[in-house]
Structure 1
Amino acid sequence: MNVGFIGLGNVGAKLAGSLLRNGVDLVAHDLNPDLVQGFVARGAKAGDCAAALMRDCDVVITCLPSPTASDAVLQEMLPEVTEGKVWMEMSTTDEAEVRRLGAAVIARGGAAVECPVSGGCHRADTGNISIFAGCDRPTFERILPLLILMGRRVLHTGEIGTASILKVMTNYLATANLLTLSEAMVTMKAAGLDMATTYEAIKISSGTSFTHETESQLILSGARDVNFTIDLVLKDIGLFQAIADRNDVPLELSPEIIRIMKDGQQRYGERAQSDRIIERLEEVTGHKVLADGFPTELIDDEPEEAGYEVVINREAAQ
């Protein structure tokens, strides 16, 4: 299959890079021509526009910053969708919207897959990220060879829309954990604890998490640049709150998390890095949470491994 890739931002460039690194015939497109030329220099072809990619490629992948952007790109591609074409949406988007757009593709004889990623930009760079895929089973099996080049663990979540629901849930959980870690570390600093010791205590305990083992390091080094901005956090946790509202779930923590992140956005800017949220507590307490020896950027030092489908143990789940 020759593959078109639209959206070469922080995440998209890394996913597209994994395809290119593994020998996929790739056509790249982005509104920023410099990003496209960077891929051309690495062996990709430049795509003229979204419609041309859908016309000329077997599969077109989109990885875009908002549901509005995804809609605009798909509307451009839709007239070129014919029998056998596949659209893969790797953006984090609203499940109702991806179902609407997917239905439009399927109505023209194509196939639609939503496949958001989870696990951090550093793992997207090495092909070790996790991928959720929502679509019918035959389509999933058709595009699985591409998914396992971009991610290590691939989970078929069910029909289209299910992957988006699960993705915003995971981002909600990561944001909640970032806020509790911020409170924990500032409190330990105020109590006179050593910050490097605090980091290790959390890491080896029941309180550890993926967020701690990645973002806490960037907080402690002072870099506070996890490559994910507050506006994107608010988009994702807002989508999670909307799912709860639609299903009449009276969440209590979620509205407070949204309030705190909005306050951080007002203080530090719309595109501020999300891990700067700890600075709200640092400022009010006068305690700076820093420690020597922590990295200023996250690098996935695990070797790139062949991806695989995560098989659900339904007997254990019953």
Structure 2
Amino acid sequence: MAQAVMAGRRALPAAVTPHLRNRRRLFWPFTLPAIALYVVFLVGPAVATVVLGFTRWSGAGPVTFVGLEQYGRLLGSESFRDAFVNTLGYIVVGGAGTFVFAFLFTMVLRGMRASKTVRAILFFPNIVAPVALGMFFGFVFKYNPGRQGLANFLLESLGLPAAGFLRPENVTWVVIGALVWSSAGFYITIMMAAVDRIPPYLYEDAELCGASPWQQFRAVTLPLTWDVVGIAGVLWTIGAVKIFEMVFVLAGPGTYLPPSRTWTLAIYVYDRSFGAQGTPEYGTACACAVVMIVLVTVLVTALRRVMRRERLEY
């Protein structure tokens, strides 16, 4: 009878201690400044960008609402189409190359004695400013008779003709190679941090069964780090959509915009906002920025759905 009475009673709330009461009092004073900064510097500009994408505005004077006209101008612009295709190329091709290198080095570094030192060396290019990297690769791949860069010097030393690596039709591949070289260390570090959590006995069992390094990676490493690979893919997608400095330095002469066929979406936004085409077109720039946001949203959502797997416990 006593048990039934106890079961029928509702659980009494825990006593509110002075410590808990003080924490509740401090919640909003500490949270409101962060929320205010988030709204002012992120939410507000994002909403303003979406709104200005439906207008025509040169930065001064009246703002004219034009509806979807700016998006129609984007679709009819050859430079925007080139920028969109180039950006997709950086995301897909550059991402594939980066993760292939990350996976290969993950297999090699797992059993290496000085793996932490090698990780630090591989991570180093990621902390160098993209402008500096662009200038470095510009010197390496320079094509100038009598003053060749290192790449063409080596080609000519082997009896091969010099190549115009930085010409508009070739520079995209040079940028992709530079991005893979500079970014792979970051994703190798992320992958190795996830590999370090895997119990060593799983690899020992795989070795006893005669599994090769590739089979160990496919059967042990990849399934147990799949969630980390998905997060790394999202990070790459977001970063690749915003590529600007490397293309600006390698494809351009350094003082003004590169040829439009080498542009990315970020360079297109810059050109319409601050470029040398004349009067700024902030409506078109904001419309392109909205396209970038939509592109990131679609790609990240698709990537998360494709890489959705049941979580493995170990």
Which one has the largest radius of gyration? 2
TM-score, normalization by structure 2: 0.25
Task: Work out which structure has the larger RCO, using CA pairs closer than 8 Å and 6 or more positions apart in sequence.
Answer: 2
TM-score by length of 1: 0.24
